[in-house]
Amino acid sequence: MENRKIVVIGGSAAGAKAAARARRLDPQAEITIIQKSPDLSMASCGYPYYVGGTFGERSQLLATPTGVVRDPQFFQKTKNIRAITETECVRIDRDNKQVACRNLQSGDEFVESYDKLVLATGASANLLPIAGRELIGVTTFLTMQDTDFLHDRSVSGEVKRAVVIGGGLIGVEACEALRSRGIEVTLVELEKQVLTFLDLQLGMLVGNHMRSKGVELRTGMKLERFVGDDGKLTGVQLANGETLECQLAVMATGVRPNVEIAAAAGLEIGNLGGLAVNASMQTSDPDIYAAGDCVECTHLLTGKKTYAPMGDLANLQGRVVGENVVEGNVATFPGTIQTVICKVFDFGAGATGLSERTARAQGMTDIETVVNASPDKPGFMGAKLLISKLLVEKSTGRILGYQCVGSGDVSRQLATAAMAVRGKLTLAELCCADLPYAPPYSLAIDHFIASAHIMDNKLKGRLKTITAEEVYARIEAGNPPCFIDGRGPDEHEVLRLGIGEKYIPLGMIRNVLADLPQDKATEIVCFCKISLRGYELARILEGYGYTNVKVMEGGIMAWPFSRER
């Protein structure tokens, strides 16, 4: 029996993983990777940190954990996989099970036959259809070539000001990288916030943090055109007519799946533009599989197809493909809950499952949310703040989503929440979950568990809350409630909202009841730094017969709007 022939189109995350997995399961297979770029198995999520100077050697983006560069010689010697770089697949002949390829340097064409074909063609940057994008200094931030350009420009000393267009993951990371090089940065984003996988309040908090690090934000703003002189970029013109001077502009406006050769071969393309695959990562042709940024997959909470171009998913899908091309469809990739995390200077920002905005857009109404601001560990262990938002299904208590931002250990909170969402855990199960605890790592009741406790109190009617956004809307409408800040006088001298609040320390509230509205139905909103004392205040007032007392979720630390101090 002849050795099976496996051809992989694309040698980045999904393709390299599929080839390596197939090799481990079948030592005799003839495996070939066809890669369009000069590099293989690139750590693309590390690009911003190379540009920003976190590490200095470009080769680290291409190396194994032991420092060996994954080049064609590496694949041949260590894995007996033939890797052909700077070569593109131009045509798939499904009837004869062949792919036609072209060497990009020589122009020579050749044909590779296959028993199983893997498409890991990735994605391309969305290019804004506006004038001036051909100017020198305008770039995307997706490939190694983009990364090399940005790195060289950022260390050249020629770039004093840069504009980043797009406030998603890549745009936010680009801002940090460029600021790390001492470059003045303005971020232009069409939406009202950065990182739209977060709901507005948390997204605004991340934006505020970026401003504190020297990034100028222009949210709710559209780009009009790039302007230049003698072929070089000199500025970016916004829709309001303003021109931002810059020598560098980064288009971080999303990606689109590379499916051209697949579509030309008659393979099914999904409604979102990605390759349609089943749970085995098999396309509409049973001998052709696909993985990574070129495919659509199932969202496990909505049951609908989604496009999720993430590095971890590409690796997971590639592993499934590598197994299935060797052993038949024995492995599956069921779908994603779309967990994502981003470093924003010394903040973490992440989400898993559904946001409130996404859930409501899907027509979900049986949901409840709560915002929790609290430290990640005891104060004597160097506590740092976390602000999170928990989303549950009210009728069942099932955890549907979680978002977390802050300077504390966001990754740990998010990892716990992701497993809760993926495991279909309920609020009742989380309220008594025994997570690892020791003061160097967490509070006795971990931040995520505390979020579950707050939600439990809310659903059982023990806690009535109001969000910061609702408070702000009341103020803007000229109909503010009675606000009580339960902190001490020294605290509000350092930090305060300035929204007309009364300063009544928690321990004094019983002594000043005569100074409060005598109509017990008056709406009163209590808060403090994180609203723990606000909750205590509310319970005391309810004990004295007040019937319309609410706690502002997250307190001052979760307030995303401007404040007095």
* Contacts (Cβ under 8 Å, ≥6 apart) of 181: 51, 52, 53, 154, 155
> Which residue in 231, 334, 345, 260 sits closest to 88, CA to CA?
260
Contact indicator for 50, 58 with CB cutoff of 8 Å: yes
- For residue 151, the model assigns a pLDDT of 97
Under a CB-based contact definition with an 8 Å cutoff, are residues 483 and 465 in contact? Answer: no
Kindly indicate the confidence band of residue 490, based on its pLDDT and cuts at 50, 70 and 90. Answer: confident
Closest CA to 172 of 405, 379, 480, 516: 405
For residue 380, give the 3-state DSSP assignment.
helix
Element (H or E) spanning 32, and its range? strand 30-34
Contacts of 379 (CB under 8 A, 6+ apart): none
pTM of the model: 0.95
pLDDT for the residue numbered 1: 59
- Alpha carbons 438 and 264: distance in angstroms, whole number: 58
Percent composition of the chain: helix, strand, coil (DSSP 3-state, to 5): 30, 25, 45
- Mean pLDDT calculated for residue range 490-507: 92
Instruction: Lay out the sheet containing 502-503: strands in order across.
Output: 465-466, 549-552, 524-527, 482-485, 502-503
User: What is the percent of the chain where pLDDT is above 70?
Assistant: 100
- How far is 451 from 442, CA to CA, in rounded Å? 14
Which pLDDT belongs to residue 488? Answer: 87
Average pLDDT over residues 206-215: 98
Domains and CATH numbers, the chain: 5-123+256-327 (3.50.50.60), 138-253 (3.50.50.60), 346-459 (3.50.50.60), 465-558 (3.40.250.10)
**Which contacts of 556-559 are long-range, i.e. CB under 8 A and separated by 24 or more positions?**
556/495, 556/496, 556/497, 556/527, 556/528, 556/529, 556/530, 557/373, 557/385, 557/387, 557/529, 557/530, 558/201, 558/205, 558/371, 558/373, 558/387, 558/468, 558/530, 559/468, 559/497
Evaluate if residue 315 carries a pLDDT over 90.
Answer: yes
pLDDT tens for each residue of 19-36: 999 999 999 999 999 999
Other residues' Cβ atoms within 10 Å of the Cβ of residue 563: 12
Q: What is the DSSP letter of 492?
A: H
Structure tokens at 47: 């690009």
Distance, in Å, from the CA atom of 547 to the CA atom of 543, rounded to the nearest integer, reads: 9
pLDDT tens for residues 389-446? 999 999 999 999 999 999 999 999 999 999 999 999 999 999 999 999 999 999 999 9
**What percent of the chain shows pLDDT beyond 90?**
98
Strand order in the sheet with 98-103: 87-93, 98-103, 109-113
**For 544-565, how does the pLDDT look when each residue is reduced to its tens digit (9 = 90+)?**
999 999 999 999 999 999 998 8
Residue 487 has pLDDT above 80, yes or no: yes
Mean pLDDT of 220-235: 96
Residue 177 has pLDDT above 70, yes or no: yes
Q: Is the pLDDT of residue 493 over 90?
A: no
